[in-house]
Amino acid sequence: MDDFTIGVVGSAILIGLVILGVRVYIACALVGLFGITAIVGWTGGAGNAGMIPYAKGTVYPLSVLPMFILIGFLAYHAGMTEKLFDAARKWFGWVPGGLAVSTVFATAGFAAVSGASTATAAVFSRVAIPEMLRYNYSPRLAAGVVAAGGTLASLIPPSAILVIYAIIVEESIGRLLVAGFIPGIISAIIYALLIIFMAMRNPELGPAVGGFTWTERWKSVPGTFPVMFVIFTIFFSMYAGWTTPTEAGAVGSFVVFVMALAGGMTWSTLREALMETARLTVMIFSLVWGVLIYVRFMGFAELPSVFAEWVVDLPLPPTVTMICILLFYVILGMFMDAIGMLLLTLPVVYPAVIGLGYDPIWFGIVVVKMCEVCLITPPIGLNCYVVAGVRPDIPLQDVFRGIFPFFIADLITLGVFLAWPKTITWLPDLMIKSF
């Protein structure tokens, strides 16, 4: 059996193990270990598999992940979430579906200090859903908007998934994080417009909430200043080149920590934030280690280069080929989580995409947007499970039904990115020209 055939067989076994329910990092590590062993022998296979977790886990760029995750949990325990939602409710509650629109913009704001989609969904399941249900919003819409709004953390910096993409393809973390800002805003606006359209057609889905004076609205604005300050600190320090992404994450964590202490954070809540950060960080690092062993196996089998040559030689326009690749991600996302899917596919897909002439920054945002779609599509839509777990009074099937309109909105957003690539590349290109 030649090396390429071993790679194909190993990939098939990996997919089978994942479908059977084996954890992705375990399946990847095992297939990678035995795959490399089949090609170069036991000594070389065991040596490679044993060296990768240390060699790849100690690189400096990975240290940005716990920093960004810590920002989100500290911000939640500092009470910033409630103030964000309160301000959004008072400013946008008057439009059709106003509380749902407010939830979208509040989740977008929290995403800019969180970086974790599931954390954002969990937080707003506690904050926004009770308020929407109190005003007789459809439970499906309430659950759907929180699950979908949580996905904005995948695009809006600081984004853990964008960092993982940058590490895998060896692209600039700073440029990718900056590139996610405008697409994240576009996604939030399209969600909001969709909600307004739905509520105008069927007012029972989400009635407007009025009665707020201009004085009340302006008084709610100072409550958003801490979040705005953290966003400005992280984004502008990276954009100006004053800090690396890791340093920006550390500064952001310190700022939020000081604000949390000033807000009366206790030792028990600080301990909980640190433990949640540690648990999520360990989970992500385990995925990275396991998948990188599998990636090394793919390199030995030469599967990425063969696939790239095949894709480039297809008698199809590059746009059609890209749409087929994105459809492949939609299908794969029904069975895998976002991070695992990225780690598994990028070593093979990325060379093909670059061979087609696409910009690596543009593709990074588009593929992460696909990860957002996968966070809300059944049967693995993780954000939907998070919402149903926090709100057991809303059945899981209702959550999945509630996200369907937002799935359509995500496809529209992807169409915008495909039709106008500059919506993604303009800001990072400006960053290079200016600094």
Tell me the pLDDT tens digit for each residue of 124-164: 888 888 888 888 898 999 999 999 988 888 888 777 788 88
Beta strands in 18-113 (DSSP E): none
User: How large a percentage of the chain has pLDDT more than 90?
Assistant: 10
| Domain boundaries along the sequence of the chain | 1-58+289-301, 61-265+385-434
Rounded distance, CA 237 to CA 159, Å? 16
What is the average pLDDT across 213-232? Answer: 82
Closest CA to 287 of 63, 69, 53: 53
Higher pLDDT: 283 or 136? It is 136
Is 292 in contact with 50 (CB distance < 8 Å)? no
Residue with tokens 């964000």: 84
**Cβ atoms within 10 A of the Cβ of 247, count?**
15
Does residue 263 surpass a pLDDT of 90? no
* Euclidean distance between CA atoms 292 and 170, whole angstroms: 13
User: Residues 171, 383, 405, 409: what is their CA dihedral angle, to the nearest 10 degrees?
Assistant: -10
Band the pLDDT of 379: cuts 50, 70, 90.
low
Q: What are phi and psi of 216, to 5 degrees?
A: -65, -40
CA dist 248 and 47 (Å) reads: 36
Distances (CA, A) of 175 to 151, 350, 416: 20, 17, 20
User: What's the chain's average pLDDT?
Assistant: 81
Residues 21-31 have a mean pLDDT of 80
Quote the tokens at residue 106. Answer: 């509040």
Across 339-352, average pLDDT: 78
**Mean pLDDT calculated for residue range 399-416:** 90
- Lowest average pLDDT, out of 69-73, 341-345, 431-435, goes to 431-435
> Using 50, 70 and 90 to split pLDDT, how confident is the model at 432?
low
What is the number of alpha carbons within 13 Å of residue 276 lying toward its C-beta?
Answer: 21
Structure tokens at 256: 């939020």
Query: So what's the pLDDT on residue 336?
Result: 65
CA distance 135 to 307: 53
pLDDT reported for residue 435? 44
pLDDT for 399 equals: 87
Above 50 in pLDDT, residue 356?
yes
